[in-house]
Amino acid sequence: MQSKLPNVGTTIFSTMSKMALDYGAINLAQGFPNFPVDEKLIDIFKDSLSENVHQYAPMAGNPLLIEEIIKLTQKQYGRQIDSAEILVTAGATQAIFTAIQALVFKDDEVVIIDPAYDCYVPAIDLVGGKCVHVSLETDFTVDWNKVEHAINSKTKMLIVNNPHNPSGKIFTQADIQSLKQIFIKNHQLYLLSDEVYEYITFEEKHISINSIPEIRERAIIVSSFGKTFHITGWKIGYLIAPENIMNEIKKVHQFLVFCVNNLAQVSLAKYLQVVDVDSLGSFYQEKRDYFRTLIQGSKFEILPSEGSFFQALSYKNITKQKDTDFVIELVKNHGIAAIPMSVFYENNLDNQILRFCFAKDNLTLEKAAEKLCQI
Ligand SMILES: Cc1ncc(COP(=O)(O)O)c(C=O)c1O
């Protein structure tokens, strides 16, 4: 049978999670938290069950949640948006897929920065677009000259992910200035800004494209409540884009899902009135620091982690094996699952680095660290 996505198999996340289960290994591979959800959110969810929330929500989102997203965007990024500029989606994945379907045409080029999260390329392939890959430098910084060189009159979209999965790097003011220059020069370009880890940054604060007027008029900005409130299983997020762009995205959304789980939307609307998103950074920073302290005596080299759930570790001092082979050895012989960084590159560049998720309870981190220190 002919395949529309001949190069797509099971994602590395499913593969490694299954291997972790099969071998009884500690799963630091997939990016989901394993600690309890905030009790306040559980109580709000239970209370909302008895309300009139069991039928379809309005297509673009429940007005209660839209109102809270407007307030949050104003408070966090000083951006005043209108309800017409918001779309509540079934997670960031659907947001990204929908935006690409709506905006990228056959033979349009889309610039992607590798290592890149894995849902961008298949969405572009399905519309017959062409992915143009630019690699990050070995320290995971962006060479903006390379990005600029990759852009031509056929380039419809640039996709960036900040804070970055899998490296844990975040954009500096200088990065944002370079991005601004690219958008000033290229009037045809849209920016798809994947900011799902926007509240999970450590020493430095996240710079959202919401706060950059020169870019946001042509930007589609992606957020995920799943990542922000450690409820990845709820699959709920949202997009912000100027109304003319959003109108096209909504045309696709209404025939893809029509609307998103209403009970989840109402619960999140009420939760946003009581939760402090600013405390998330320090919550995760403690986890990052704890994990880093625990593995300090190991042979792994601990690379910088500035945001996201992820800690990249180099194993150059341990073995010369390919990262895809070493992760299998780790699961089978050492009882720990990680993600090989090479799978996030189009050309499978292997710098002997693995990605570990530290969004786990302390006991899991302790057990994982004990294993890593024995290698
Ligand atoms: C960079 C990035 N974008 C998007 C997503 C998808 O988020 P969601 O679970 O809200 O669909 C993830 C999830 O791991 C991610 O890491």
pLDDT digits (tens, 9 = 90+) for 164-186: 999 999 999 999 999 999 999 99
Cα 131 to middle of ligand 1, angstroms: 19
Same domain, 310 and 179: no
Of 13, 117, 309, the one to substitute when testing ligand 1's pocket (max ligand atoms within 8 A of C-beta) is 117
**Interval 137-168: pLDDT, tens:** 999 999 999 999 999 999 999 999 999 999 99
How sure is the predictor about 15, in pLDDT bands with cuts at 50, 70 and 90?
A: confident
Shortest-distance atom of ligand 1 to CA 236: 10
Q: Give me the torsion for CA of 302, 306, 311, 314, rounded to 10°.
A: -40
Q: Please state, in angstroms and rounded to a whole number, the distance separating the CA atoms of residues 236 and 262.
A: 10
For ligand 1, the distance from its centroid to the CA atom of residue 118, given in whole angstroms, is 9
SS3 of 134, please?
A: strand
Distance, CA of 116 to chain centre: 10
Give the CATH number for residue 133: 3.40.640.10
Is pLDDT at 13 greater than 90 in this prediction?
Answer: no
What does the alpha-carbon distance between residue 277 and residue 280 come to, in Å, rounded to a whole number? 6
User: Which residue's CA lies nearest to atom 13 of ligand 1?
Assistant: 31
Same domain, 237 and 140: yes
- Domain end call among 272, 293, 322: 272
- Give the residue numbers spanning the domain of 360: 12-30+278-373
What tens digit of pLDDT does each residue of 192-238 get? 999 999 999 999 999 999 999 999 999 999 999 999 999 999 999 99
Residue 212 lies in a domain: yes
Instruction: Supply the CATH number for residue 293's domain.
Output: 3.90.1150.10
Q: How far apart are CA 355 and CA 286, in angstroms?
A: 18
Give every CB contact of residue 16 below 8 A, 6+ residues apart in sequence: 27, 29, 30, 327, 331, 337, 338, 339
Between CA 235 and CA 94 the distance in angstroms is 9
Residue 95 located in a structural domain: yes
Task: DSSP letter for 298, please.
Answer: S
Q: Is 266 in the same domain as 151? A: yes
The reply to whether 229 and 85 lie within a common domain is yes
- Residues 6 or more apart whose CB falls under 8 angstroms from that of 369 comprise 291, 294, 295, 298
134 in a structural domain:
yes
Same domain, 142 and 248: yes
Distance 194 CA to ligand 1 centre (A): 8
20 plus 158 within the same structural domain: no
Residue scoring higher pLDDT (42 or 33) = 42
pLDDT level of residue 120 (50, 70, 90 thresholds): very high
Is there a single domain that holds both residue 230 and residue 287?
Answer: no
- N-to-C CA span, the chain: 45
66 & 183 share domain: yes
Which of 272, 307, 341 delimits the end of a domain? 272
> What is the whole-number distance in angstroms between the Cα of residue 140 and the centre of ligand 1?
19
Domain co-membership, 306 together with 179:
no
What contacts 248, CB < 8 A, 6 or more positions away? 102, 103
The Cα–Cα gap between 321 and 298 comes to: 18
Total number of domains in the chain: 2
Same domain? For 254 and 119 the reply is yes
Q: Please report where in the chains the tokens 């660290």 appear, as a residue.
A: 369
C-alpha triplet 305, 306, 309: angle, nearest 5°: 65
Ligand 1 pocket at CB < 6 A: 31, 91-93, 117, 161, 165, 194, 196, 224, 226, 232, 237
